[in-house]
Amino acid sequence: MEVITLIDNNCNDKSFQCEHGLSFLLRTENYNILFDTGQSDKLIENARTLGIDLSTIDYIVISHGHYDHSGGLPKLLQINKKAHVLIHPRVFTNRYSKSEKMLKENGIKWRDQWRQYQNRFIWVDQDIEIIKDVWIVQGLETQPGYAVSNHRLITEACGKMVPDIFPDEIVLFIKQPDGVVLFSGCAHHGIVNILYTIRHRYHINNFNWIFGGLHLKGKDREEIILTLTGTLSYNVNQWALNHCTGDEAFDIFHSAYAGSIHYAASGSTFMIS
């Protein structure tokens, strides 16, 4: 299996584009899956630089309804005429990020036009095995002691602004003989709770690789340490972190998981046996 970061916030090589967003391409002999699409068509430019034909993608996964994970989809679907899009039915809610000074919309930009793409959608309202040993998981559970609060990220409910609990968040994992490879967009439910859900439902004891953001940027050190400590019982072998993980969290994880932490910048490639 080959995993290529098509978009991240950072670029290690000036020949690649970067933006606040995330997109991974998973390639095997049997299938090609795109996990998230960044916020624009920059992933398409990076694929062109890498010599990747995006028309060969079989499935596109949208991990949740934020602009920086879904924005590249409309132009991508113009290039790719066959891929099914796996997406949760509650993904199109109005969403915002707030600070002391402003309220900024951060939901899916094309949500008013979604019906023109609906013949390509597979609605994920239950766990689904899309290909043998490739699973999409929804309805993420909470491990006791690891409830996550996203007070800065809000949504509309019954005419009020309330904290976003991300009912639409989905993750992908691929079963291997000795464990799984996991992909998460932002881990808004918390990476510990995602690991807990997969172990609880599927009796998975080893996580060979985890790809994605941990949404720990701007979190205090105590919360980062709590998250790190919570992962230690899940037998994680390798991490490829990026996007919303945050520099401090990356450094803390790097110290704890010596030799097992990698940064997945735009254009980076990982070979997984």
First vs last C-alpha separation in the chain: 6
- Phi, psi at 192, each rounded to 5°: -65, -40
pLDDT exceeds cutoff 80 at 114 = yes
The residue-averaged pLDDT of 95-118 equals 90
What type of residue is 51?
Answer: G
Position 185 scores a pLDDT of: 98
| Mean predicted confidence (pLDDT) in 151-155 | 91
What is the pLDDT, as a whole number, of residue 167?
96
How do residues 15-36 score in pLDDT, each as one tens digit? 999 999 999 999 999 999 999 9
Distances (CA, A) of 227 to 195, 221, 245: 11, 10, 12
Altogether, the residues listed in the chain come to a count of: 273
**How far apart are the C-alpha atoms of 243 and 268, rounded to whole Å?**
13
Rounded mean pLDDT of 147-164? 88
Encode pLDDT of 206-239 as tens digits: 999 999 999 999 999 999 999 999 999 999 999 9
Backbone angles phi, psi at 121, to 5 degrees: -85, 140
Q: Which amino acid is at 88?
A: H
Looking at residue 99, its pLDDT comes to: 83
Please give the pLDDT value at position 48. 97
pLDDT grade for 102, boundaries at 50, 70 and 90:
confident
Average pLDDT (61-82) is 97
pTM equals 0.97
Contacts of residue 200, defined as CB under 8 A and 6 or more positions apart, other chains included, come to 141
Domains, the chain, ranges and CATH? 2-271 (3.60.15.10)
Which 3 state secondary structure label does DSSP give 157? strand
The tokens describing 155, both together, are 């949504």
Query: How far is it, in rounded angstroms, from Cα 8 to Cα 243?
Result: 6
Give the ranges where the chain is alpha helix by DSSP (H).
42-50, 67-70, 73-79, 191-202, 221-231, 247-256
Q: Which of 49-63, 123-137, 142-156, 160-174 comes out lowest in average pLDDT?
A: 142-156
User: 79-90, pLDDT tens digit by residue?
Assistant: 999 999 999 999
